[in-house]
Structure 1
Amino acid sequence: MQVQVQVMWLDRGDTRQLERAGDADVPVLATLARGASLALGGAEASFWLVLRGGLDIVARVGTFRLDAGQWIHFDRGAHPLLHAGERTIAVGLVLPAALQMQLLRSPQLALFPGRGTVPALARRLLVRRWHAVLGRPARGMQATLADRWQVERLLRALAGLQQGHQALIARCPGRSLSHRRQVYARMQRALQYIEGHTHRVVRIGELAELSSMSVWYFTKTFRAVYGECPQATSVRLRLASSARLIRDTSLSITEVGAASGFENNCSFSRAFRTRFGVSPSLYRSGARALSTDPANPMDSACGAVA
């Protein structure tokens, strides 16, 4: 059985704003390469995987940079604007609202907001799944028919990247699995918002409003799911971002602290030393090899917000 899909290939500086009317219920398989840019509306979710180079994304939920092997999934309402670097090749799947809701109800095919890294072997498998659906697309955008089984295999492969989420879903409140999955999707949107705003302190009120919850209930649920409260997550991710800036840029320590949302150099240096065991200047000097993995466990008291 065949299903209708749309195929988009943007290359060498192509720019496009995806606006769809009669074909709005059809998924889009997209490729962005070498300086291409794409703007998406708010009615659709999207998944992106970088195969080579880097992909810069500005969305309502924040600003993100993906390098080779990294993926991200946006829920509806994110309005992402994507720009591929000069050597970049990235593939994406744009999901209409009806299809996204259908996937969220499926135990095997659900996709939640979030980001991660794909090992090289799994990346090659995903590329094969993509080519099985795409074939050899021409530049631009066109409608085509694809084998339904191949499309489902691709969706299963994408959902497989989030296998570890099942344990977190089990921590969510709710009498039914369906309700817990809905709560988890809200928590993931909040976490993604924190990840996208590592340049400033994110207020809990913002996150609670984004999740359509009271501040008390949101904080309680977030901590139950992730093992740390939102303030600690924000501090940890901002410090991880600052470590990358120290390592990869020539910004001064003061500039790095300001770019990571710290009010002054003293508070930044104190928080950095508490987190990594050395001062920012010693870290830059390569005194120790330290991990900046944002998936590290809770490390400080919930009230410690710079």
Structure 2
Amino acid sequence: MNKMEATMLWADRGRTLRCGETATPHAPPRCLAVSRQGNLGLQARRFSLWVQIRGEAWIESAEGRFRLRPGQWIALDRESRPTVQASSTGLCLGMSFEAVGSPSRRPADDSRVYPGRGRLNRRERVVFLRLWRRACPRALMGAGSHGDTRPLLAFMAEVQRDLQRFAQRCPGRTRGHRHQVFVRLQRARLYLKGHHHRRIPMRELARLVNFSHSYFSRTYTFVYEEQPQVTASRIRLAHAADLLISTGAPIGEIAQASGFENNCSFSRAFRAHFGISATDYRRHGDQQEGNSGKATA
């Protein structure tokens, strides 16, 4: 197999760049970087992967708005067309591909990269940075760069290994069909994360992934072993918990920002999920942040 030579696009120091549709049907991968208030928009229908190295970045996509902190990663489907904005100290590195999350046209199921979110620990972040530099064009990154994207994709597929058990539960007669179903389900989960500030009707999710309401609800529940409504509630409560720790906003405002109609319904749901009240959670600082690179969506 020939190496997948990549091109390079870097938005730095407030620069705004737009990556349009590719002129060729099988364009090479593209290394992406956004830093120091740079802004980069991916307008082409290409799968993309982003990892926050330092500072923060904000991503606007078809699935919603996401905030990336150091070590966090997000993988987006080819329909997402994200725009990435870095903070003044931010560095967000990425890569986009013509194929859907795959280093080859017909990869094995265990070598795919799926849409989702997660976090890399410190060691994994160092590995990612080294592989990203290796994937970049030799002319830009120096003699130590090989321009080979396959090791990076294989590494991220390993990071997402926890998703494999869900992908294998998807219905379909072929691996390709199961893969397409799982990509759509993962997009739905990202949509819930990108809209954690409101309640999402299930029919809205079904339309997003082009499934009927009944098929979406049945398939989602079978694959993830929980109903979409349960996932949505858990995501909104996790967002509320993060706001309790990271901001001093009143609890009533946090309830509204997390899609709850009133304080009473928020308080009941929060206590049922975390086992303590929102006030006690804020007081004790019970922030549950994992240090592994396991996928969370």
- Structure 2 gaps of 5+ residues are none
Stretch of structure 1 that moved more, 14-23 or 30-39: 14-23
- Using structure 1 for the length normalisation, give the TM-score: 0.86
Mapping 1:80-229, distance limit 5 Å: 80-96=82-98, 98=99, 100=101, 103=104, 105-107=106-108, 108-134=110-136, 147=146, 150-229=148-227
What is the CA distance between 1:41 and its match in structure 2? 1.0
Stretches (4+) displaced over 6 A: none
2:68 corresponds in structure 1 to 66
1:14 corresponds in structure 2 to 15
8 Å contact from structure 2 (residues 39, 85) kept in 1: yes
2:278 corresponds in structure 1 to 280
- Structure 1 gaps of 5+ residues are 140-145, 298-306
What is the CA distance between 1:199 and its match in structure 2? 0.3
SS in 2 for 1:22: coil
Q: Distance in 1 between matches of 2:34 and 2:62?
A: 20
SS in 2 for 1:39: strand
- Using structure 2 for the length normalisation, give the TM-score: 0.88
Q: Distance in 2 between matches of 1:130 and 1:235?
A: 35
What is the CA distance between 1:71 and its match in structure 2? 0.6
8 Å contact from structure 2 (residues 49, 75) kept in 1: yes
SS in 2 for 1:58: strand
Q: Distance in 1 between matches of 2:75 and 2:286?
A: 30
Structure 2 vs 1, CA of residues 243 and 2 (structure 1 numbering), >3 Å: closer, same or farther? closer
8 Å contact from structure 2 (residues 245, 287) kept in 1: no
1:291 is aligned to 2:293: no
Stretch of structure 1 that moved more, 33-42 or 194-203: 33-42
What is the CA distance between 1:151 and its match in structure 2? 2.1
What is the CA distance between 1:102 and its match in structure 2? 6.8
8 Å contact from structure 2 (residues 6, 136) kept in 1: no
Q: Distance in 2 between matches of 1:276 and 1:292?
A: 14
1:301 corresponds in structure 2 to none
Structure 2 vs 1, CA of residues 32 and 157 (structure 1 numbering), >3 Å: closer, same or farther? same
8 Å contact from structure 1 (residues 9, 137) kept in 2: no
Q: Distance in 1 between matches of 2:139 and 2:244?
A: 41
Q: Distance in 2 between matches of 1:292 and 1:234?
A: 19
The superposition leaves residues 82-135 of structure 1 with CA deviations (integer Å, 9 ceiling, x where unpaired) of 111111111100112x46577473115422110111122222112111112226
Q: Distance in 2 between matches of 1:76 and 1:2?
A: 22
Q: Distance in 2 between matches of 1:3 and 1:179?
A: 25
What is the CA distance between 1:262 and its match in structure 2? 0.5
1:5 is aligned to 2:6: yes
Q: How many equivalent residue pairs?
A: 287
The superposition leaves residues 45-67 of structure 1 with CA deviations (integer Å, 9 ceiling, x where unpaired) of 21000111111111121111111
Q: Distance in 2 between matches of 1:170 and 1:262?
A: 34
Stretch of structure 1 that moved more, 239-248 or 39-48: 39-48
Counterpart residue type for residue 273 of structure 1: R
The superposition leaves residues 227-273 of structure 1 with CA deviations (integer Å, 9 ceiling, x where unpaired) of 11000100010000001111111211110000000111111111111
8 Å contact from structure 1 (residues 72, 114) kept in 2: yes
SS in 2 for 1:16: strand
Q: Distance in 2 between matches of 1:11 and 1:101?
A: 28
Structure 2 vs 1, CA of residues 122 and 101 (structure 1 numbering), >3 Å: closer, same or farther? closer
Instruction: Determine which of 22, 32, 35 is the counterpart of 1:33.
Output: 35
SS in 1 for 2:219: helix
The superposition leaves residues 185-209 of structure 1 with CA deviations (integer Å, 9 ceiling, x where unpaired) of 1111111111111000011101111
Structure 2 vs 1, CA of residues 136 and 157 (structure 1 numbering), >3 Å: closer, same or farther? same
Q: Distance in 1 between matches of 2:93 and 2:103?
A: 22
8 Å contact from structure 1 (residues 8, 28) kept in 2: yes
Stretch of structure 1 that moved more, 30-39 or 150-159: 150-159
2:251 corresponds in structure 1 to 253
What is the CA distance between 1:176 and its match in structure 2? 2.4
1:303 corresponds in structure 2 to none
Counterpart residue type for residue 76 of structure 1: R
